[in-house]
Structure 1
Amino acid sequence: MKVSIGIFAHNEEHTVGRAIEAMLAQEPEQAKILEIFVLSCASTDSTVAAAEAYARHDARLTVVNRPKREGKLAAINDFLARATGDVLVIAGADLVVAPGLVERLVEPMRRDPRCGMTGPRIATHGTAGLTGRMHDLLWRMHHEIASMQPKLGEVVALRREFVPEGLPTGIHCDEVVMEAEVIRRGGLLAYVSEAEVRNFPPSDVREFYGQRRRIACQHRAADRRLSYRPATLRKRNVVRAALNVVREDPGRVLTLASLCGVELAARMQGAIDERRGRTYQVWSPVLREVRVNATQPN
């Protein structure tokens, strides 16, 4: 299968190099990486210069400098218009992907032509402090939920035939929009827990809360306009995931209580934001605890 990769960035000078290196190092046996696009949306730091340094040494890599911030969905549609692959891998520049990621994400599509979208398991870099522990627990619960009912995020692979005209605009939660579009066209979602991506925790609780509030608002908009709710909004899934993680590690109960408090407040405020017409089409990047020497996942 022929693969095109899109890496999306806004002021990611500290992480874009690692994101590019991890993608360039992918060596799938059952797929061919045709091209890698780095789409920088109105970055004001050295993101573009850092990406262009890699492009000078690998012909597959193209840097697209978008002068205006029009939202991530607009940037994804720009990528879709440029990409020539059968499978489209969409990733953020603030992530580090594990070796073999592309191979593993493509495999379910190779086996079943009905599979339209796949996503990996998300692990985290660093869990120190309350924010780090909540961030880590959030993604541990995400894994539990996605294992019951696919909920894909951070990095996804999308079969091109399920988005022939691009993605619908007006809702700014890209993975949820892609899930809804694939399902609307009769496709299947697949969670690939063997594939792994690492991300970095927000720098403090305020940043964490702001991120969860924005996502809650976007999920409400998707529910209202697309009649689609991701698996993480189904109460039964959340309760089962919480019970599973506490059974596995009872010492996490206090972190779970803190996470539930933050998430409840964020969902309430996100609902208010959505009713007031806030879209979060663009938003300030989350300040993260980025460890310069963090290693790639095994």
Structure 2
Amino acid sequence: MNSPRVSVVMSVYNGMPYLDAAIQSILGQTFNDFEFIILEDGSTDDTWAALEQYALQDARIHLVRNPQNLGYTRSLNEGFKRARGEFIARQDADDISLPTRLESQVAFLDSHPEVGLVGTRRRFIDPQGATLEIPDRLVALDNSSIQEALLDFNCIHHGSFMFRCKLLEQVGLYAVELEPAEDYDFCLRVAEVAQLANLPEQLYLYRVHPSSVSHLREYRQAYNKALALERAIFRRFGEHPPTQAFANVGRDYLRAAVVAFLANQPEDARACLQQAQSLYPLLFRRDEPLASTLRGYLLQEHLEERLEFLNAIFIDLLPSTQRLRRLRSRLLSEQHMSEVFKIGASGCSRAVKSHLNLGLRYDPSWLFNRGVVVLLLKQTVSSWKKVHGE
């Protein structure tokens, strides 16, 4: 039997109700020379029964029923082992590939033999399939831009991967121990032996579900991303990489420390912080890496939780230095002043005054802000009118 040009690999666990849209999006491709390897990973819903019906209708579907739940990454590796195609394409069980995706990627790889892996831009959709107005961060298209961006974040969307099957002989399968950052690690390894690319067209629809990711899983992802990048730096530079090469690794371990702290894993948080400082001693000589990391997580919380989190992380996790004490005051001031501007127009003068006083106490430099000066003048006028009965 002739081998297909493309092996599409998808793992599914409890895939209803999005399974039909995902499967039909592959079966409806304008490019037909593919096999569709679907691994059922121990589902407890009707996924297996539905898959059997699809397989009866289309001979390109090859079903694999894992004897037990292997987990996402290990299951995908089983699919890669079974792939017979020249190229392997990924598909996630709740996403959608637009009709020309495979055709476009095959044509690109055929015309660019130096490229080992190509992704596509994506459009975000909600659980019902409606388009979400979320900008696609994956803007790096050419190899040089991607190589640079990879040292910061994964700039090729996992579900849209198409790569040459022979790469598995060079770089190996996915690193199961790095899940859920296995795709980032794979891209870093491929980048060392081949060029990478993203197609400019949005050929993949990524379904966004209501956030249910725990801080613990978020910590594992942040930690494994940092570990994947650390390994890549050592592979590329040898035993003694230059200190600056670890700037992003230090930042990533810092992020992992913050998330571990949020997940109530203080020992893991301290270990990540120690690793960050060990790899990049300059980390705490600049305010911005820590400040931007903390701000990113502060946006997710209510004010009381933000203030509690800031105080706790500076007292219980971070070293006590004059620079960090100043940064703590600045960040606390920012939180209070954001409330000042948020509620200032509502006329709740008591709350505005309270946050304004606290914000200025933590960081008096706000007195040079025009908006703050205007608020202070308004408060002064309002107080004068009350005193004089106007």
Give me the TM-score of the superposition, normalised by structure 1. 0.67
Give 1:111-260 correspondences, 5 Å limit: 111-126=111-126, 136-137=133-134, 140-145=135-140, 148-149=145-146, 151-153=155-157, 154-164=159-169, 165-172=172-179, 173-184=181-192, 186-204=193-211, 206-207=212-213, 213-227=219-233
Question: Per-residue deviation at 1:98?
Answer: 0.6
Query: Do the aligned residues in 2 keep the contact of 1:163 with 1:182 (CA within 8 Å)?
Result: no
Q: How many residues align?
A: 235
- Distance in structure 1 (CA, Å) of the matches to 2:81 and 2:165: 11
- Distance in structure 2 (CA, Å) of the matches to 1:15 and 1:145: 29
Q: Which residue of 1 aligns with 2:19?
A: 16
Query: Do the aligned residues in 2 keep the contact of 1:3 with 1:85 (CA within 8 Å)?
Result: yes
Q: Which amino acid aligns with 2:20?
A: G
Query: Do the aligned residues in 1 keep the contact of 2:123 with 2:136 (CA within 8 Å)?
Result: no
Q: Deviation digits for residues 91-121 of structure 1, max 9, x if unmatched?
A: 1101011110001122221112121111111
Question: Per-residue deviation at 1:22?
Answer: 0.5
- Distance in structure 2 (CA, Å) of the matches to 1:126 and 1:209: 22
Q: 3-state SS of the aligned residue for 1:4? A: strand
The structure carrying a bigger strand percent of its residues is 1
Q: 2:10 aligned with 1:7, yes or no? A: yes
In 2 relative to 1, CA 110–66 (structure 1 residues): closer, same or farther, beyond 3 Å? same
* Structure of greater Rg: 2
The one of 253, 258, 272 aligned to 1:268: 258
Q: Which amino acid aligns with 1:18?
A: A
Q: 2:87 aligned with 1:81, yes or no? A: no
Query: Do the aligned residues in 2 keep the contact of 1:5 with 1:89 (CA within 8 Å)?
Result: yes
Q: Which amino acid aligns with 2:183?
A: E
Query: Do the aligned residues in 2 keep the contact of 1:216 with 1:270 (CA within 8 Å)?
Result: no
- Distance in structure 2 (CA, Å) of the matches to 1:178 and 1:274: 30
Q: Which residue of 2 aligns with 1:293?
A: none
Q: 3-state SS of the aligned residue for 1:18? A: helix
Q: 2:99 aligned with 1:95, yes or no? A: no
Segments ≥4 residues shifted beyond 6 Å = 208-211, 264-267, 271-275
Give 1:11-50 correspondences, 5 Å limit: 11-28=14-31, 33-50=33-50
Question: Per-residue deviation at 1:225?
Answer: 3.3
- Distance in structure 2 (CA, Å) of the matches to 1:212 and 1:85: 34
Question: Per-residue deviation at 1:221?
Answer: 2.5
Q: Deviation digits for residues 195-218 of structure 1, max 9, x if unmatched?
A: 4211222214x4487775553233
Give me the TM-score of the superposition, normalised by structure 2. 0.53
Q: Which amino acid aligns with 2:231?
A: R
Gaps of 5+ in 1: 229-233, 236-263, 278-298
The structure carrying a bigger helix percent of its residues is 2
Q: Which amino acid aligns with 1:221?
A: L
Q: 3-state SS of the aligned residue for 2:91? A: strand
- Distance in structure 1 (CA, Å) of the matches to 2:221 and 2:255: 12
Query: Do the aligned residues in 2 keep the contact of 1:48 with 1:63 (CA within 8 Å)?
Result: no
Give identity over the alignment, percent: 21
Residues 194-203 or 155-164, more deviating? 194-203
Q: Deviation digits for residues 141-170 of structure 1, max 9, x if unmatched?
A: 413356753711222101111112534442
